[in-house]
Amino acid sequence: MAGFEGFEKRLELHFSGDDPIFFNMGLRQLSFDSLQQVLREVQCTVVSAVANHYFDAYVLSESSLFVYPTKIIIKTCGTTQLLKSIPPLIHHALNLHLTLVSCRYTRGNFIFPLSQPFPHTSFHEEVVYLENSLPNHLCFRKASVMPSNLLPSHAWHVFSACDETRLVHFDSGFYTVEVCMTDLDRSLAKKFFRRPGDGKSADAAGKEMTEISGINKINPNALVCDFAFDPCGYSMNGIDGDRYSTIHVTPEDGYSYASFECVGSIYDGDDFVRTLKRAVQVFRPGKVSVSTTTATSHRVWARVAGALEPLGLKCRSCTVDEFPAVGNVVFQTFTTRRKKTGECGGGR
């Protein structure tokens, strides 16, 4: 491989069950050995962890894992085989008397697509694998590639599936924002390189990167679990009540990449704008794509543009699509480069 693949693959699975214990712990009852078994299929491991009353957050050797009572989110980069986690996760959930009710898979365009192993060699191959791995009762399914006319390298791939109950009953007040940033400012990217022979643990070096980069100021209320890789690279998970945030950085010149993901509420108001602005300012990227997933028609995408345009980033395209058990996905791309552009509208 010419360089490390920063763009992540992201899988979100939701479950339901009748056991009263389920409502308190659910998937959090999975043993660490069971989680490690799942991650071996994906080809990554846990390097750090933190938890609170609501969920467990793990930093992985390639990105992150979040385990709630009713859902699990795995986000992995590099040449991991993320979708291979589905069969063992369904198996372990059945042992807890939990049933899969919905699935969502998303990713951007890979920087090094020819280096990806099965089943990630193409989106078509991924969709076929998903179709064959999911139980038949998840009968409402859709796969789509959301384009960016002026940034073809930042297309967004989405697959979702659900059963009939999940089609009409899912959270309407929350949204998920996935931000992919490339062409990072070189001086800022250097903060995610370790000094040779610094003698620090990965946790201590990660904490230092969190502070010198300003990541600790993105959400001062969050408990941060951070990790620095050797010789470079960085991951963090933030937990704030029942909400998570996560950042992953590949800082090398030529294929620099950073991602930021968080969960918000449509009632957060300007808090979301401040959070997104602070996250992007840490990296000052040349290109940014933002995927906002919400069950309502609330115009969260307008807040995204309002956060990024004051940073010198111009909205180049905005596309909207609707998916089962997901709602609306709005995909926007931004760049600092001067070129002919159209208006950033609500989609087409």
Q: Which of 102, 148, 213, 235 is catalytic?
A: 235
Cα–Cα dist 294/232, whole Å: 34
Q: Which of 44, 61, 77, 225 is catalytic?
A: 77
pLDDT at res. 61: 93
Q: Where are the beta strands (DSSP E) in 77-222?
A: 99-107, 140-146, 156-162, 174-182
pLDDT at res. 101: 94
Ligand-binding site membership of 140 (annotated): no
pLDDT at res. 3: 66
Could you tell me the domains of the chain? 9-336 (3.60.90.10)
Q: Which of 248, 289, 298, 318 is catalytic?
A: 248
pLDDT at res. 21: 55
pTM: 0.91
Quick check: 118 and 31 in contact, CB under 8 A? no
pLDDT at res. 267: 75
**Longest CA pairwise span in the chain (Å):** 58
- Does residue 239 sit in helix, strand or coil? strand
Residue 124 appears among annotated catalytic residues: no
Residue 154 appears among annotated catalytic residues: no
Q: What angle (nearest 5°) sits at the alpha carbon of residue 228, between those of residues 59 and 280?
A: 80
Q: Which of 14, 44, 63, 160 is catalytic?
A: 63
| pLDDT mean values, one per 10 residues, the chain (348 residues) | 74 84 79 95 95 96 93 93 96 93 93 86 96 95 87 85 75 83 95 91 95 95 94 95 95 92 82 92 95 78 88 92 89 76 38
Quick check: 44 and 62 in contact, CB under 8 A? yes
Residue 235 appears among annotated catalytic residues: yes
Ligand-binding site membership of 229 (annotated): yes
Record the tokens describing residue 37, joined without a space: 């078994």
pLDDT at res. 285: 96
What is the spatial order of strands in the sheet that 314-323 belongs to?
Answer: 223-228, 234-240, 243-250, 257-265, 174-182, 287-294, 327-335, 314-323
Residue 289 appears among annotated catalytic residues: no
pLDDT at res. 20: 55
pLDDT at res. 19: 65
- Selection from 155, 159, 123, 129 nearest residue 143 by Cα: 159
- Selection from 69, 293, 268 nearest residue 171 by Cα: 293
